[in-house]
Amino acid sequence: MEINYTRKASVNLENLPQDVQKRIAKKMRFYAKQENPLKFAERLTETKEGDFRFRIGNYRIIFDVINNKIFILAIRKRDKAY
């Protein structure tokens, strides 16, 4: 699956410490290579921002899947994600 970052998600990622940025990027590449990356995701009950989320350490990656592409909408620390 292809991964696309929205402008907001790119800014969220850039504002994180570099070690966290690398960890998130590495994990997203791992998910993209999987046959079904959604098996690692959790569906969000309130879809104000996105339909799914990945958990990477203390961070939540909020995203949608459209035409077999992952669109990352936001990257937030767990206590501020919802």
Kindly report, residue by residue over 28-74, the tens digit of the pLDDT: 999 999 999 999 999 998 777 889 999 999 999 999 999 999 999 99
Q: Given this model, what pLDDT does residue 36 score? A: 93
Q: Given this model, what pLDDT does residue 4 score? A: 95
Q: Containing domain of residue 6, as a range? A: 2-80
| Tally of domains in the chain | 1
**Ranges assigned E (strand) in 1-82:** 2-5, 42-43, 52-56, 59-66, 69-77
In angstroms, the CA 45 to CA 34 distance is 24
pTM: 0.87
Please check the confidence at residue 79 and state whether its pLDDT lies above 90: no
Q: Given this model, what pLDDT does residue 81 score? A: 65
Please check the confidence at residue 82 and state whether its pLDDT lies above 80: no
Q: The CATH number of the domain where 56 resides is what? A: 3.30.2310.20
